[in-house]
Each structure stands twice: as structure tokens, then as C-alpha cells.
Amino acid sequence: MAEPLVILGYGNPSRGDDALAPLLLDRIGDLPAGQRGWEVIEDFQLQVEHALDLSGRDLALFVDADASCPEPYRFTELVPARDASFTTHAISPAAVLQAYREVHRAEPPPAFLLGIRGEAFELGEGLSAPAAASLEAAWVFLRSLMDAPSAACWRSRITR
């Protein structure tokens, strides 16, 4: 049986600040075993197959590094959309939701994106100091989301 909340984080740990989502997911894995109700899925990039990971869920959270968001993070609600990424090997969270809609002929669970501010994405680089600070703020924010896993509560936390 699927956990009610799925957290899908994606990024390349070998590319500097692109490691933000995997590092955040590592922290979730370090939480005590008694604190569950979610499943964590990590990948380098989103694929159309991730639409299957949304089945049976009440809520979905996508986590990624984002060079264009304000510091320290941006939290938004997602809507299904067929975008240009739909035909490539890596797709957007909105395209994953659209794939779910098309495969299941039903609406996906409410889904949100936590974009964490990153600045340096060079291969072989470590996490930048500004990204490390954004990671800390995103962790505190994510813990508050996990304490109240409902779409209504999460909608009240959306940032611009």
C-alpha cells in the first residue's frame, strides 16, 4: 500500500548546487522510523514513469534546485500541463502530472514544488555557501509541511 505523501527529489549530486534535492532527501531518511506517512523517491531527473509513483497518493511534493527562484526557496502548487519537456528524456513536474492524467484518466493528487535556490551547477563542484544556507531554510520549511500533510494547509504556505 502506498504512503499518502510521496516526495520526489531530483538532481545530480556531482553538479554543485544541483545536489540540493538529494541532500534534503537524505535528511528525511535520517528521521526516526516512527515518523512515517511518506515515501521518498530520488532520481537524477524526472521521467514519464514517475507518473506511476503518484498512484494511490493523497499528496505529492517535488523538490529541485532552482537558479531562478528567490532565496532561500519557492513553494508553489503545480497543475498538469503538456509542455515542451513532455517529449524529451527528462520532463517537468507539470508534465509528470499530465502523464498521470493521461494514463489513469483521472486527476493526479494535489502536487507542489519546493524549488531551493542554487547558484553554481558545475560538474565536480561542491555545494556553494549560499545554497547551503538555502538548504537549511528549506529543511525547516519541509519539516513544517511534513507535520501538516494536507493540500489545504500547504496551499496556505505558497510563496511567490
Q: Read off the pLDDT of residues 18-36 as tens digits, 9 standing for 90 and up.
A: 999 999 999 988 777 656 7
Task: Give me the pLDDT at residue 34, please.
Answer: 58
In this predicted structure, the answer to whether residue 89 has a pLDDT above a threshold of 90 is no
Task: Give me the pLDDT at residue 33, please.
Answer: 60
Task: Give me the pLDDT at residue 35, please.
Answer: 65
Distance, in Å, from the CA atom of 41 to the CA atom of 53, rounded to the nearest integer, reads 8
Task: Give me the pLDDT at residue 45, please.
Answer: 93
Task: Give me the pLDDT at residue 124, please.
Answer: 86
132-154: average pLDDT:
95
- Has this prediction a pTM greater than 0.85? yes
- Domains for the chain: give ranges and CATH numbers: 5-155 (3.40.50.1450)
Q: Are 46 and 8 in contact (CB under 8 A)?
A: yes
The 3-state DSSP class for residue 18 equals helix
Q: Read off the pLDDT of residues 91-127 as tens digits, 9 standing for 90 and up.
A: 999 999 999 999 999 999 999 999 999 999 999 889 9
In this predicted structure, the answer to whether residue 160 has a pLDDT above a threshold of 80 is no
> 123 — phi, psi (to 5°)?
-60, 130
User: Alpha carbon of 107 to those of 100, 113, 149: distances in Å?
Assistant: 7, 17, 19
In this predicted structure, the answer to whether residue 55 has a pLDDT above a threshold of 70 is yes
